[in-house]
Structure formats: structure tokens, C-alpha cells
């Protein structure tokens, strides 16, 4: 059966342009009622106007869909709560949340001021928390929810001049990991998109010929899948220029050393074995790592332990 969102209510943050606009239009096309959230701020978070968001709403309505504008600042929890309340009052629920809003204040670390770091964290990481927290209780009560948060290759793999942005984006992955676990029993699925697209956030960073291949609309199918009824949970999906991939944080099997070899020299001597990526896998949760280490130590010391549900 084709994926549809008829009867579902979605909030898309940062939806006045770029990726958010594409996601909002995509959801509306498949039947969702959409809250188009955008402050209309500049790339660094300054200024503001509802005109970009209103333009997206007009597109949706013209095509026969339902949408409203909401200019809530995602870094302000009270404003986000009010946005969710308005959507719930109008349409009865918020079933889908796409936390996409973001800003950039790129500088090398040596030149980065604390305010530049704090503001980017506030919009990306705290803003994502605010959006998820504001819809969480309603989703729990209705025993249904789908959330997509937004990370970046800058956080997952690193990028010069983006210490603030990268820290926020990797923090979002940690948030997803926990929310996916906590949401399982109430049918709330939480996933992450890692997009690469031609938006005002990437202007000047990528050659024009390459940008032409990287349309925001190429990301949206992955987001829509991750919001769907049968979506996975706790998944990071990379997307760009029509390519899609799964990204995982993995750990090698490692090596247990006897206490007599708990030295930096022993680590150096065994580093190749410790780092053998052919043994790497996704552990699935924090305690899986703990259980793995205990089981390895017990085996090395001839100790029998009861099953702990480890990796």
C-alpha cells in the first residue's frame, strides 16, 4: 500500500525554504495537514518575517491541501508549546514532527565566540528537544507518533569551522537514541535524517554544478518514509542528490587485556587488534557495551555469569 498521511497532522520547523519547504509540500501532497513553522530569520538567526512560511502555506492551499503558518521560535519552549497547542486545537492532534529548523554561525574554533556556540546549540539541539518534548505527551496519550530530527555529516564525521553546528548535530543523534527507546511502548518512532542539499545553508560551500544535482526535494522521500506507519525507529538515514544510505555508530569487538597489561604501552602494542573494523557492529544501546565488556572480562578470568542480555 502506498504511503499516505491522510488524517494526520504534521509540524515542520524551518519550513519557509529549502529542506523544510520540501518536506512540508511533500507531506501535504500525501494528505497531511501541515503547520509550516518558520521565523523567516536570516541564515545566522537574525531578523524575521512570516512571508516565507506564508508562501509555502499558499502553495499547499492552492494545490488543495490544508496548512497554517506558525512563527514560533524553536529555541523558546513556551513558544513551541503554544504552537503545538494551536495545531491541536485546530486539528485535534499532532501526529508527525519534523525538527528541521537551523542556523549557521561558522567560524574556526580559534575565532568562535561563546555566543556563536550557544546560539547554534540553542536552535539546533535545544530547539529539537523543545519540539520533541512539546509533542511527546500528546503522542503518548494517543499511542501514536512519528518524529524525524535532523543531523548532519558535519556532526557525524566533522567539518572545519563548524564546532558549534557539529556538536549540536551529534547531540541530536544522542537525543534520538534515547527517545526511540522511550517511545517504543507507546508506538512513537523517532528517526534521524542526515541531508546534503542545495539550500541557503550550503550556498558558497559547494560548486554550482554540484548544487544543481542536490535539490532539497531529493531528501524529502526519506523523511516521508521515516514518518510513515511502518517506519523503523532509531535509524539514521543519509540522503542527497537521489542517493540514500543508512549510517550507524559502531564499535569493534575489541580486546580484553589482563590487569598486568593495563598500560598505555599494551594499548599501543594491541591497537590494530583493538581497532579491527571487520568486527564492528551496532550495539543497540548503552548497556550492551557494558554487558559486552563484563562478559569479555568474565570469560578471560574464567568466571561464569548469568545471562545479562548483552551484545
pLDDT given for residue 41 in this prediction: 63
In tens, the pLDDT along 225-250 reads 999 999 999 999 999 999 999 999 99
In tens, the pLDDT along 195-204 reads 997 655 566 6
pLDDT given for residue 104 in this prediction: 94
Model confidence band, residue 208 (pLDDT cutoffs 50, 70, 90):
confident
What is the overall mean pLDDT for the chain? 94
Compare 205 and 215 and report the one with higher pLDDT.
Answer: 215
In tens, the pLDDT along 267-285 reads 999 999 999 999 999 998 8
pLDDT given for residue 311 in this prediction: 47
Whether the per-residue pLDDT at 44 is higher than 80: the answer is: no
CATH class, 9-247 region: alpha beta
Whether the per-residue pLDDT at 209 is higher than 80: the answer is: no
Residue 310 grid coordinates: 548483552
pLDDT given for residue 245 in this prediction: 97
For residue 129, give the nearest of 79, 93, 179 by alpha carbon: 179
What is the 8-class DSSP label of residue 3? -
Cβ-based burial of 109 (10 A; exposed 0-12, middle 13-18, buried ≥19) = exposed
Go through 176-210 and write b for each residue having 16 or more CB atoms within 10 A of its CB, e for each that does not.
bbebbeebeeeebbbbbbbbbbbbebbeeeeeeee
Those residues with Cβ within 8 angstroms of residue 178's Cβ, 6 or more apart along the chain or in another chain? none
Whether the per-residue pLDDT at 137 is higher than 70: the answer is: yes
The total number of residues written for the chain in this structure? 311
Go through 30-40 and write b for each residue having 16 or more CB atoms within 10 A of its CB, e for each that does not.
bebbbbbbbbb
pLDDT given for residue 200 in this prediction: 57
pTM of the model: 0.93
Distance CA 148, CA 242 (A): 19
Do 238 and 247 touch, CB atoms closer than 8 A?
yes
- Active-site positions read 165
In this prediction, residues 189-218 reach a mean pLDDT of 80
Whether the per-residue pLDDT at 212 is higher than 90: the answer is: no
H/E stretch holding 165 reads helix 163-183
Do 259 and 59 touch, CB atoms closer than 8 A?
no
In this prediction, residues 156-160 reach a mean pLDDT of 94
Share of the chain above pLDDT 70, in %: 94
**Most confident of the following: 5-14, 195-204, 291-300:** 5-14
For residue 23, give the nearest of 33, 31, 12 by alpha carbon: 12
Distance CA 82, CA 59 (A): 24
Question: Is residue 246 classed as helix, strand or coil in its secondary structure?
Answer: strand
pLDDT given for residue 92 in this prediction: 98
Do 139 and 122 touch, CB atoms closer than 8 A?
no
In tens, the pLDDT along 162-184 reads 999 999 999 999 999 999 999 99
What is the 8-class DSSP label of residue 15? T
Positive or negative: CA dihedral 246, 247, 251, 252: positive
Amino acid at each position: 500500500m502506498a504511503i499516505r498521511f491522510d488524517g494526520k497532522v504534521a509540524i515542520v520547523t524551518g519550513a519557509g525554504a529549502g529542506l523544510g519547504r520540501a518536506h512540508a509540500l511533500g507531506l501535504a501532497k500525501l494528505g497531511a495537514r501541515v503547520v509550516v513553522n518558520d521565523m523567516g530569520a536570516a541564515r545566522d538567526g537574525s531578523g524575521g518575517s512570516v512571508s516565507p512560511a506564508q508562501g509555502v502555506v499558499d502553495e499547499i492551499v492552492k494545490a488543495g491541501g490544508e496548512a497554517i503558518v506558525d512563527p514560533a521560535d524553536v529555541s523558546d519552549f513556551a513558544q513551541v508549546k503554544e504552537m503545538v497547542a494551536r495545531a491541536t486545537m485546530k486539528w485535534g492532534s499532532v501526529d508527525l514532527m519534523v525538527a528541521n529548523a537551523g542556523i549557521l554561525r561558522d567560524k574556526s574554533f580559534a575565532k568562535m565566540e561563546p555566543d556563536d556556540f550557544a546560539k547554534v546549540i540553542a536552535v539546533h539541539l535545544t530547539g529539537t528537544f523543545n519540539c520533541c518534548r512539546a509533542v511527546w505527551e500528546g503522542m503518548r496519550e494517543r499511542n501514536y507518533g512519528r518524529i524525524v530530527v535532523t543531523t548532519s555529516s558535519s556532526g557525524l564525521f566533522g567539518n572545519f569551522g563548524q564546532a558549534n553546528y557539529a556538536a549540536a548535530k551529534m547531540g541530536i543523534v544522542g537525543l534520538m537514541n534515547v527517545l526511540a527507546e522511550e517511545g517504543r511502548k507507546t508506538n512513537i518512532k523517532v528517526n534521524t535524517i542526515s541531508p546534503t542539499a542545495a539550500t541557503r545553508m550550503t550556498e558558497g560551500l559547494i560548486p554550482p554544478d554540484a548544487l544543481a544535482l542536490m535539490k532539497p526535494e531529493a531528501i524529502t522521500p526519506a523523511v516521508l518514509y521515516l514518518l510513515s506507519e511502518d517506519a523503523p525507529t532509531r535509524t539514521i538515514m543519509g540522503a542527497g542528490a537521489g542517493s540514500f544510505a543508512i549510517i550507524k555508530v559502531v564499535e569493534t569487538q575489541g580486546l580484553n587485556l589482563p590487569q598486568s597489561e593495563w598500560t598505555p604501552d599494551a594499548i599501543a602494542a594491541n591497537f590494530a587488534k583493538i581497532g579491527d573494523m571487520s568486527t564492528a557492529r551496532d550495539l543497540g544501546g548503552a548497556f550492551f557495551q557494558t554487558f559486552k565488556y563484563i562478559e569479555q572480562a568474565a570469560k578471560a578470568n574464567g568466571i561464569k555469569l548469568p545471562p545479562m542480555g548483552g551484545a
